[in-house]
Amino acid sequence: MINDYRQCTHAFNGLSMITLSSMLYGQLTFKLSDKASSIEHLEADVNFRHSFDNCYQNFKYFLKQMQLRMASIGTITICKLTDYESVLSFEIIYLLLLSVAQLEYTHKFPPIELRVAKFSYRSDKYDPEFSKMKISDTLSAYMGEMKLDITSIEENMDRKKVIIRMRLSNQIAREMKLIVDRSKEGSIFEIANAESQDNSAKAINIQRNFQIQRQEIS
């Protein structure tokens, strides 16, 4: 398990995906295998924001490297990741699941579990009326746009925790169990217009880059 680094320094706020993969498999060029990882159980604090800090330079090369490293982490049977720092979006989840799907045998594994405190999804098709709907109905309205199928949504009584299970559309692949913990300080859970601005701008810029490149990575 890789979840004890906070004891080493107060500055630690999660590993980038490339750093995590390098710690597990080495820093040399990683090659995907048709066999599952010898590591059976992983629990790690990660930071997707740090993972994508350099994504604006040579975006195509960056995507290729990130898909390779994400896929390597997805070969672990029990995979539980926590990122309470970054603002996550469906685009990032889509890229993670698409990367892991390169290895067909991973669809037999349990869902990758990802715990977050900040989640934002922006759409040009946003309708303010969606804010009055249940979360499940709101997300269903964006299903085609996300290229993800949501298989289940759970929300506890005080709405402090949302659990969303999802998978790639029209593909047999490993699923994701996204747990949004809204009890954390500074937590975000929003679906809004693509042009609105706030503290989740970093995630939105990444989301737009993925939308531009989607045809090349799918």
Lowest mean pLDDT among 31-35, 36-40, 122-126, 154-158: 122-126
Asked if the model's pLDDT at residue 121 lies above 90, the reply is no
44 touches 15 (CB < 8 A): yes
- Who wins on pLDDT, 191 or 10? 191
pLDDT for position 116: 95
Q: How far is CA 115 from CA 112, 168, 186, in A?
A: 10, 19, 15
Residues 158-189 pLDDT 10s: 778 889 999 998 889 999 999 999 888 888 88
Lowest mean pLDDT among 11-20, 77-86, 93-102, 163-172: 11-20
pLDDT tier at 202, thresholds 50, 70, 90: very low
State the DSSP string of 50-83. Answer: HHTTTTTSSHHHHHHHHHHHHHHHHTSSEEEEEE
Asked if the model's pLDDT at residue 118 lies above 70, the reply is yes
First to last CA, the chain: 31
pLDDT for position 129: 65
Residues 6 or more apart in contact with residue 136 via CB below 8 angstroms: 150, 153
Local structure of residue 100 (DSSP, 8 states): H
pLDDT for position 57: 60
pLDDT for position 54: 58
Task: Using DSSP, state whether 42 is helix, strand or coil.
Answer: strand
Dihedral-angle region of residue 201 (phi above 0 means left; psi in -120 to 50 means alpha; beta otherwise): alpha
Whole-angstrom distance, CA of residue 195 vs CA of residue 197 = 6
**Is the entire prediction scored with pTM above 0.85?**
no
Q: How far is CA 53 from CA 4, 47, 73, 120, in A?
A: 24, 10, 19, 18
42 touches 76 (CB < 8 A): yes
Asked if the model's pLDDT at residue 99 lies above 80, the reply is yes
Side chain identity at residue 37, one-letter code = S
